[in-house]
Amino acid sequence: MVALKSFIVSSDSTARAISELERTITDSDISPDLICAFYDADHEDALLHGFLRERFPGAALLGGTSCSGAMNEAGLGGNGSIGLLLVQDPDGDYGSAGVELEGDAADCAERALHAALEDADCAGELPELIWIYQAPGQEEGVMEGLRRVVGDRCPIIGGSSADNAVAGRWRQLGPDGAMRNGLVVGVLFSSGGIGYAFQGGYEPNGPSGVVTRIGYSPAGDSGIATKVRSRRIISIDNEPAAEVYNRWVGGSLSEKVDAGGNILTDTTMFPLGIDAGRIEDVTHFLLIHPEEITSDGALSTFASVEEGTRLYSMRGNKNRLVERAGRVAAAAVSSLGSADRLAGGLIVYCAGCMLAVDDQMDRVSVAVAESLDGKPFVGCFTFGEQGLVLDRNAHGNLMISAIVFGA
């Protein structure tokens, strides 16, 4: 029997927040096998980690910082909040492991996955689901390493840790404590089954074009390209990428095309999209968030693309982003097979979408809670999202994912 409990507290003092968590957890009857912890970047990792390790020494632990805290079925925690999801499943197996992303990210991810499987006493087995939380920047390498081991035979779902101002203060929390440039991998073998969904809340805006040149990192002095994917798009249809993109968004970035600069908040409602395939004649898109226009007219993005990829201009609005969260949660429940078996869930909601939705974020938590029939859940707000799109695990931006546990 699988049982979930969620807890959310808010305070500008980590010690006070932990004291409140201790009180509320003591009043509940649960002995977790898995703990998911998400918290405002202003909190002290060591205090939270110490509390969780002392209180639940045998549980697998994963999580980290989340933009402006967390949410659960009771609502939005807001700034200074800490959210916990406790999963009790005596007939299941859970493990977690953390690694610093030093050197080749794919090798690090592969090593972390094997360590998490050993922690679950399931070495060599295929998990029902892999859950990851990582530092922004090397998501594609991490996905490559995990796919070396499991391919696309099981979903790889998670997010990139965040802070409150894209200031690099994000951290990842694993069984051995917090990291600033790390990866935490959790492996889930649930006795009640797991449902999942991964979607974006945007639609095509009309224009599209082919990436004709990307930036690359040279190997030493040779000038040889060391990667075929890049987060720097130099040209689309053989024109400067920033000029093309500016046309697609109606010229709203003209000043920054001339001078360069950060365009993150300007482009949240107008991301780029990659055609990921069709289900029942509906095209699904993997989203890419433009971050900056460089001085040479290139676009810097939060996800990598390959030369030859067709990019689509996308558009969104607040209502669609609010409603999509509930729909993704409902899709995860549907994939579980029966709503009657639902024990609760875990939600990843892009921090860029959260900031764009702004004063309507309470509606997001309500929509998710309704789709999960009031069952316990915790949601985090991330700077990158990972999930399974049409049978392929991938990294994207401005996405929403949900996993749900069967009872």
**Residue labelled with tokens 């985090």:** 380
User: Cβ neighbours of residue 140 under 8 Å, at least 6 residues apart?
Assistant: 229, 303, 304, 395
Both 118 and 193 in one domain: the answer is: yes
Both 134 and 239 in one domain: the answer is: no
Supply the pTM of this predicted model: 0.94
Residue 129, CA distances (Å) to 29, 58, 60, 353, 387 in order: 26, 20, 14, 25, 10
The total number of structural domains that make up the chain: 2
Both 168 and 247 in one domain: the answer is: no
pLDDT of residue 116: 98
Both 187 and 336 in one domain: the answer is: yes
Residue 13, CA distances (Å) to 17, 28, 269 in order: 6, 23, 34
pLDDT of residue 219: 42
Of 261, 287, 315, the domain-final residue: 315
Q: Which domain holds residue 239?
A: 205-315
User: Cβ neighbours of residue 315 under 8 Å, at least 6 residues apart?
Assistant: 202, 203, 204, 205, 269, 270
Of 293, 315, 337, the domain-final residue: 315
Both 295 and 348 in one domain: the answer is: no
Both 191 and 210 in one domain: the answer is: no
pLDDT of residue 217: 54
3-state helix, strand, coil in the chain (%, to 5): 25, 40, 30
pLDDT of residue 224: 42
Both 191 and 105 in one domain: the answer is: yes
Both 244 and 301 in one domain: the answer is: yes
pLDDT of residue 223: 42
pLDDT of residue 281: 76
User: Cβ neighbours of residue 221 under 8 Å, at least 6 residues apart?
Assistant: none
* pLDDT tens by residue, 28-59: 889 999 999 999 999 999 999 999 999 999 99
Both 355 and 311 in one domain: the answer is: no
Determine the Cα angle at 397 with ends 323 and 140, to 5°. 145
Structure-token pair, residue 180: 């600033």
Of 315, 350, 365, the domain-final residue: 315
- SS3 of 377, please? strand
User: Of all residues in the chain, what percent carry a pLDDT higher than 70?
Assistant: 97
10 Å CB burial of residue 238 (0-12, 13-18, 19+) is exposed
Both 10 and 98 in one domain: the answer is: yes
User: Of all residues in the chain, what percent carry a pLDDT higher than 90?
Assistant: 89
Both 48 and 70 in one domain: the answer is: yes
Q: Which residues, given as ranges, of the chain have pLDDT below 70?
A: 217-227
Both 17 and 138 in one domain: the answer is: yes
